[in-house]
Chains A and B, each alone.
Chain A
Amino acid sequence: MEPSQYGLTSRARVRAGDQDAFGELFDEHARAVYNQGYRLTLNWSAAEEVVSLTFLEAWRLRAGIEEAGGSLRPWLLGISLNVTRNLNRAARRHQAAMDRIPGSRPVPDFSDDLAARLDDAAELRRVLDALDRLRPGERDVIVLCVWSGLDYAAAAQALGVPVGTVRSRLSRARDKLRQAGPRASTAREPGMGSGQLVGDREAVVRSVQEGTR
């Protein structure tokens, strides 16, 4: 498939509802969405759900793609953040479609490095706990810039905020995490990380576990 037949970009073709272009989009970015989904849910099966829901949402929202721009990855990762945060709502919206996924369980992981993976998960949980100290907006920019590798401009595009906001959020997040010290991940200070900041991610994980049945 020529990516720009008659000078039309992949972005424009997705926007126009070109299914071939959408399939290419999936091939190109599913992995990034999958890993971002895992890091926020700590659950590979939930991460697959995030992949499906993100692309279903992307298809639904494609008319809102701006005409000018480069890769659609920031746009997808932004949608994916919202999907992960509101997994229940997204799953409800696409309930019928999600019910049609055949064999919705991945093959069980019996590999030798299972223990290592569990260690990874434990480490990642500590990291997520540290993130819970931050405001949602600060966490979002960390997920996009630090983990998913977007630059400031792309993260700004993904979140629909000015670049300056991305910069100041990252800067604030770094200061907060520094102040919390090296044991930031395990020691929780009173008065921080309470309320919606903590609840948000846990709600996601809970709902994922319920949702997977």
Chain B
Amino acid sequence: MSASDSRPEQEIADLAQMLPVSAERDLATDRHLLLKEHLMAEIQAAHPGFRPVRWPSVRRGTLALAAGATVLAITVTASALGTAARSGGTGSGATGPSGLLHQIAAAAGRAHARPPRPKQFAYLVNYVADGHGKLHEKQIWIPVSNLCDGLTIMENGTGSGSGCATGPGPSRPDLGTLTAYPTYKLLRSLPTRPAALLAKILAATKKSGHQNLRVMLTISNVLINSIAPPKFNAALYRVAANIPGLRVVRHATDPLGRPGVGVTFSSDGTRIEWIFNSKTLHLLGERLTFAKDSKKDGQFAARGRAFVSHSD
């Protein structure tokens, strides 16, 4: 072992001198294109281990419940550090929860919106807590326009998923629901005026129970389990802003430990906490606690989302 104290650059320079190679050259343009075209054709044909799996009809109900119970978060683009963010972050003491949510809505509405193509999938990477509070990565693929195209949810490399539960066929596409995995197509079709949207949410959650809680759980579900058009996200926050029982937590951390500003909602022994990046005002994560049944407690953190292409 000699020269062990030498710096990496020197070592590499020495070796380069001892082992000279000719300059790099480019793959000729035509060859580059040909090889790329071949590769792209092959990976499309290979149909990348993305297999829509049938979802037994009971499963949908289960997942819908689980999703409602676990609740969600959203990261939208790392775009404009808006001025609203500034006033939201520093002003959260002065601003009430409703004002903060309106600022959050404005930030969400400004997010980059490149509409997906109909055959794409919304792809989400989330972290979800198990029963012991340990976080696990969860990947979700949701067809943009029709759940009957197949829905695959993969967690820790193992898959579970859904196709069409019952009924809907090509003539009657299944767009998902606000309480399970809504498709982009469904969300795009819904109104963005808060009052009209609230009516839709109430109609989609006909179960008994505390009305405001139902609304907030449904909003949480959409934020976490879908990619919505920015205007729709903004509308969700505006609906939430009018719900009583909100508070601001000036210094909060999401389940992954990322600091931010929190908004909580408490009702009927249930507490929902959303945590937002205090600069961008994008949702980082969420905690859900049930006074009556702590087994249903949930934690959620969003890592990323995008529309991706798959052959079909």
Contacts and interface: CB of A to CB of B under 8 A. Distances in A.
Nearest to A14: B308
Interface string A161-177: 00000011011111101
B25 A102 contact: no
Interface residues of A, number: 63
B3 A174 contact: yes
A174 B306 contact: no
Contacts of A31: 24, 26-27
A174 B6 CA distance: 11
> Interface size bucket, B side?
35 or more
B75 interface: yes
Contacts of A167: 8
B299 to A, nearest CB: 18
A114 interface: no
A146 B16 contact: yes
A8 B306 contact: yes
Interface stretch (A19-27, A80-88, A195-203, A204-212): A19-27
B49 A170 contact: no
B11 A174 contact: yes
B292 to A, nearest CB: 36
A180 B187 CA distance: 70
B44 interface: yes
B83 interface: no
B305 A127 contact: no
A171 B125 contact: no
Given A127-B21, A152-B8, A174-B15, A19 B2 contact: no
A150 to B, nearest CB: 10
Q: Chain A: interface secondary structure? A: helix
B204 to A, nearest CB: 25
Nearest to A116: B22
A179 to B, nearest CB: 10
B39 A5 contact: no
A97 B43 CA distance: 9
B6 to A, nearest CB: 8
B11 A6 contact: no
A175 B1 CA distance: 7
A147 to B, nearest CB: 6
B282 to A, nearest CB: 8
A90 to B, nearest CB: 14
Q: Which 3 A-B pairs have the closest CB atoms?
A: A8-B306, A18-B308, A8-B304
Interface of B: 1-4, 6, 8, 11-12, 14-16, 18-22, 24-28, 31-32, 34-36, 38-44, 46, 48-50, 75-78, 111-112, 114, 123, 125, 137, 139, 141, 157, 227, 303-311
Interface of A: 2, 4-9, 12-13, 16-23, 26-27, 30-31, 34-35, 39, 48, 51-52, 55-56, 59, 62-63, 67, 97, 100-103, 106-107, 120, 123-124, 127, 130-131, 142, 145-147, 151-152, 167-168, 170-175, 177-178, 184
